[in-house]
Structure 1
């Protein structure tokens, strides 16, 4: 059994990957998608979106990182995959699941599920372009607006050379609305010979147990569930071993929340750092009543120094990031909330 941390664009960046993998239970994680269009991206792009590449392709906790690419040009994706491997990527993952309208309009993500032949061509070209020892994996949904091509898409990925397939058990049109159709994960596994991971609507131990029963999948990918409850992967790993990991208390979460904020202060400009904290806090409110109270205090706060005081942290002026950065994709963020 393996538990993976999902690549959620605009949410699970290197800061949150660091914090969540320190809690434990996560076997590997994936970068936010790296959008590929018509050229090999510069080293700076990979350094921005996959800084762990320059630290052995692992988070500080030692959790392996995969590099995820998104695009529709097989040759260009292959060239970028080859370059990512030169930079140290141990696995190349391909995104065929992103539901964001802006991404789909530019022929990326879930819209490609309308074209199984193109999926096959992309995976085949990326597989051909990277060293044989480096696996190529893929993430898909059950389709764009229907599930009629789900099994064809899965076959296309596997026959193209994907070593593993993660299935988010909903279509693009279904977005993140419950329920996730875990029974389709079982159907996908029936038609491919590679491991299939179940993804979608696993918020608790009970959800995981139901997902395993319905999908038959031992391997899972956690997304919003582990962001809302940071010890969920640890709980599931322990339960699978017949143990009880207990539940992380709000008090135990405090140091991680403070460290998340300190890293955000150091890496993100003051204009955007508060938004990143609010984003995670909003998801923590699902699991922690205390997060509801804290979120109410910081919700309209824009001053980093005021948030420092609320969290009981201090940062030297020289450590704070005062340089502007690009704003995250607002549409992608709204999809996750």
Structure 2
């Protein structure tokens, strides 16, 4: 069984990838999508979205990173994928699941599920362009407005050369509204000959057990559930092995929050770092009542020094620690 961290644009950047993979249980993660339109992007674009390429395409704890592309031009996607491989990308992933309206309007993401022949062409050209030893994988939803072409789309992707599929078990129109239709993951797995990952509405260990029972697949990709419960992957991995791991409590989460805030302070201007912290805290409120208390305390605070004090974090001491 493999457990993957989902590539959530605007949320799971290198900071959160680093922090979440420190907890354990995650086998691989994926960049936020790299939007490709009409040219080969410069190396700086890749390094901005995937700085892990400087360190063997893995997080600090050694979790492998895949590079994900989004677009509709097979030749341009192929050229960019080939270039990404020269920068160290170990796996090329293709996004056919993004539901954002702005993305779909420009022929990217889930809207391409209306064109199975284009899905096939994209994967085929990317597969031809990258070295044979580098896998090409894909993420899809069950369709744009309807599920009636889900199996055709899955087959188009795998016949084009996708070595794995992640299936977000909802259509674009369904967005993120419960439920996720895990039974369709089972149907996709029956229709293709490659491993299929279930994705969608796995917030807890019990959710994973139900997902596994209904979908019939062992592999899972965790998105919002893992962001809201940072030890969810570790809990699932332990349960799969027949072990039990105590859930991470709020106190145990504090070093991760401190590390997240330190990295946000380093990467972002003081104007934007507080918003990044609040974004994660808002998602943690689903699992931790204490996160709501802290979120309410910080809601209107935008001064980084005062946030340091509220979090009880000694930034100079952390900086000295890392320098040593």
Q: For 1:221, what is the secondary structure of its paired residue?
A: strand
Query: After TM superposition, where is structure 1 displaced by more than 3 Å over at least 4 residues in a row?
Result: none
Q: Which shows bigger deviation, 294-303 or 3-12?
A: 294-303
Following superposition, the deviation at residue 300 of structure 1 comes to 1.2
Offset from partner CA, 1:62-102 (integer Å, 9 cap, x none): 00000000000000000000000000000000000000001
Q: TM-score, normalised by structure 1?
A: 0.93
Structural mapping, 1:241-260, within 5 Å: 241-260=241-260
**Matches of 1:116 and 1:220, distance apart in 2:** 24
**Matches of 1:60 and 1:113, distance apart in 2:** 35
Match of 1:76? 76
Following superposition, the deviation at residue 315 of structure 1 comes to 3.1
Following superposition, the deviation at residue 314 of structure 1 comes to 3.2
Structural mapping, 1:179-258, within 5 Å: 179-258=179-258
Following superposition, the deviation at residue 313 of structure 1 comes to 1.7
1:4 aligns with 2:4: yes
Higher relative contact order (CA 8 A, sep 6+): 1
Match of 2:322? none
Match of 2:107? 107
Q: For 2:282, what is the secondary structure of its paired residue?
A: helix
Offset from partner CA, 1:299-321 (integer Å, 9 cap, x none): 111111111111112335xx8xx
Match of 1:125? 125
Q: For 2:32, what is the secondary structure of its paired residue?
A: coil
Structural mapping, 1:265-280, within 5 Å: 265-280=265-280
Q: TM-score, normalised by structure 2?
A: 0.97
Any gaps of 5 or more consecutive residues in structure 1?
320-337
Match of 1:144? 144
Following superposition, the deviation at residue 283 of structure 1 comes to 0.4
**Matches of 2:78 and 2:50, distance apart in 1:** 18
Alignment size in residue pairs: 317
